[in-house]
Amino acid sequence: MISLRASDHIPQLSIDCVIFGFSQNQLKVLSPKLIFKGDFWSLPGGFVRQDESIDQAARRILEERTGIKDIYLEQFRVFGETDRSNLSFWDRLTELNGEAFVAEHFNRKELEWITKRFVSIGYYALVDITKVIPVKMEADASVEWYDIQNLPPMIMDHNQIVAAALVSLQQNLDQKLIAFNLLPETFTMNEVQQIYEVVLNKTLLRSNFQKKILDLNVLERLEKKFTGKANKAPYLYRWAQ
Amino acid sequence: MISLRASDHIPQLSIDCVIFGFSQNQLKVLSPKLIFKGDFWSLPGGFVRQDESIDQAARRILEERTGIKDIYLEQFRVFGETDRSNLSFWDRLTELNGEAFVAEHFNRKELEWITKRFVSIGYYALVDITKVIPVKMEADASVEWYDIQNLPPMIMDHNQIVAAALVSLQQNLDQKLIAFNLLPETFTMNEVQQIYEVVLNKTLLRSNFQKKILDLNVLERLEKKFTGKANKAPYLYRWAQ
DNA sequence: CCAAAAGTGTTGGTAGTACACCCATGC
DNA sequence: GCATGGGTGTACTACCAACACTTTTGG
């Protein structure tokens, strides 16, 4: 039985997290898939306990899924249309899995609580994908990274939430210098550029990009990185603010 | 008796609106003062009905207070600390006005509903101050414009909400070209500059400002405005997008 | 020595800043 | 005429895009 402990939480208010990671020159989003029949993907989300702030709730949800405590987090928008509810998703779930099967996992009171209209606060997070060990929750069949250009169809308006998060990320990339949160402790300039290119969805001139980033004076240059490739070894950099 | 019709609304979720206006070379914020003893100022706010979206709720609240239908509106942040509740305000209210007086205006069920912890969605609005006729609601003693630099002390965290709204307005001023929403249909270039100066809190060079705004190609130049003053008559402009 | 990628330098255009100059108007 | 504020023009600077050149490395 999946417990929501409804009474401990603020009703009709949820949090949805778009967790961005970067690997293989692709921007990725973490998405759990539910155990039920029917290919239900979603965003990692949850509810706000009465005794925690909304930021704390978002951090708790992120830590539950990724195991990481200090995560870069940004609240980017609230989704509050009148038709935002789990109801149609739930109908389809029941249709495909049978009333009895669903009843095994949720009691009636919780079902009533969770199928109401929900206002959802959208957060996006930037993580070093190498540090994340995706954690399956009770109702998860899998928790995987998906290319943002190739996301599975998600329940409710979660695909739109991802799209809105990406727009917000694009706007903040230069202004808040947050790209480095997607990288490990040390990285090469080429890796930074790849993030900029894939987030902004356009190619950048290498020489100009290098100059621009170095002129920010936020990076510390370390020793060179031996790659074993037939070219000059690139420097490693570290965020030094 | 002030009716909240609690059951029709999403519990523990509120909307607070920072309504910006511009006059006498000052940025103003609209703030109602409550009828009760004790100088309680607040932001125009309200709750979200089950049958309306959060944007619709914000528009309804704004229309109730200003009488204007088409208002420029921007959702800028959610405030969700655990200690966000009306409780301490309510205690002070009761202390100053007496239990009996408060009981005249609110029944117990509503009191219980309204003194819970609330998560509040912050919106800011830009209005042509000449079109606004501030409307007093049931519990309002007055609804006045206050200079943003000289706001009265407000209940809860409303002063901080105003501060956050101003930061957001500053960031969006150039990017979204929203300053014109604070002006009447036609205006002079000097009026636009005054808005920029008071919002950004710095002086700008007149000649460069004029060039920058005109180069945006978003204004239509109309006939000259006769001011009766001892100087060249300025052009009138109109937003032409 | 060559290809490939990294690092740095040079050039030209554009946008922003500071300031100068002229124009209209009422006293 | 003169002070005042409005409109436009000019020089200087800073930044950014495009491209060229040099350096390092493995084969």
- Kindly state whether residues B22 and B126 are assigned to the same domain: yes
Task: Write down the pLDDT at residue A6.
Answer: 62
Bridge-based pairing of strands B9-23 and B119-126 is parallel
Query: Using CA atoms, how far apart are residues A115 and A12, in angstroms rounded to an integer?
Result: 9
Which stretch of DSSP H or E encloses residue B76?
strand B72-79
For the ranges A218-222, B5-9, B218-222, the lowest mean pLDDT is seen at: B5-9
Q: Minimal CA–CA distance to A26: which of A227, A213, A168, A182?
A: A182
**A75 belongs to a structural domain:** yes
The yes-or-no verdict on residue A227 having pLDDT over 50 is yes
CATH of the domain at B90: 3.90.79.10
Task: Write down the pLDDT at residue A1.
Answer: 45
Task: Write down the pLDDT at residue A5.
Answer: 61
Cβ of B107 less than 7 A from strand D: no
- Kindly state whether residues A143 and A227 are assigned to the same domain: no
Where among B176, B199, B215 does a domain terminate?
B176
3-state DSSP assignment of residue A198: helix
Question: Which domain range does residue A115 map to?
Answer: 6-176
- Kindly state whether residues A171 and A189 are assigned to the same domain: no
Task: Write down the pLDDT at residue B6.
Answer: 62
Nucleotide nearest residue A231, measured CA to C1'? D25
Contacts A82 to B, Cβ<8 Å: 50-53, 56
Domain count, chain A: 2
- Kindly state whether residues A156 and A192 are assigned to the same domain: no
- Kindly state whether residues A162 and A59 are assigned to the same domain: yes
- Kindly state whether residues A87 and A33 are assigned to the same domain: yes
**pTM here?**
0.94
**A1 belongs to a structural domain:** no
The yes-or-no verdict on residue B154 having pLDDT over 60 is yes
- The chain-wide mean pLDDT, for chain B, equals 92
**B1 belongs to a structural domain:** no
The yes-or-no verdict on residue B204 having pLDDT over 80 is yes
- Kindly state whether residues B161 and B42 are assigned to the same domain: yes
Residue reference for tokens 């949820």: A14
Q: Got the DSSP string for A126-154? A: E--GGG------TTEEEEEEEEGGGPPPB
- Kindly state whether residues B224 and B150 are assigned to the same domain: no
Interface membership of B75 toward A (CB under 8 Å)? yes
**B213 belongs to a structural domain:** yes
What does the pLDDT average to over A106-135?
93
**A154 belongs to a structural domain:** yes
Where among A124, A158, A176 does a domain terminate?
A176
Q: Minimal CA–CA distance to A59: which of A115, A138, A114, A121?
A: A121
Task: Write down the pLDDT at residue B7.
Answer: 73
Where among A176, A195, A215 does a domain terminate?
A176
- Kindly state whether residues B134 and B208 are assigned to the same domain: no
- Kindly state whether residues B198 and B155 are assigned to the same domain: no
CATH of the domain at A215: 1.10.10.10
**B229 belongs to a structural domain:** yes
Residue B11: other Cβ atoms inside 10 A: 17
- Kindly state whether residues B189 and B172 are assigned to the same domain: no
- Kindly state whether residues B25 and B96 are assigned to the same domain: yes
In sign, the C-alpha dihedral spanning A50, A54, A58, A59 is negative
Query: Using CA atoms, how far apart are residues B13 and B33, in angstroms rounded to an integer?
Result: 22
Interface contact flag, B51 A82, Cβ < 8 Å: yes
Report in angstroms the alpha-carbon separations of B140 from B37, B42, B144, B150, B153: 12, 10, 11, 20, 16
Protein residue at shortest CA distance from C1' of C27: B230
Per-residue pLDDT of B31-55, as tens digits, reads 999 998 889 999 999 999 999 999 9
Interface contact flag, B119 A54, Cβ < 8 Å: yes
Q: Which residue out of B75, B78, B116 would a mutagenesis test of the A interface target, given it has the greatest number of A Cβ atoms within 10 Å? A: B78
The radius of gyration computed from the CA coordinates of chain B, to the nearest angstrom, equals 20
Per-residue pLDDT of A50-86, as tens digits, reads 999 999 999 999 999 999 999 999 999 999 999 999 8
Interface contact flag, B48 A11, Cβ < 8 Å: no
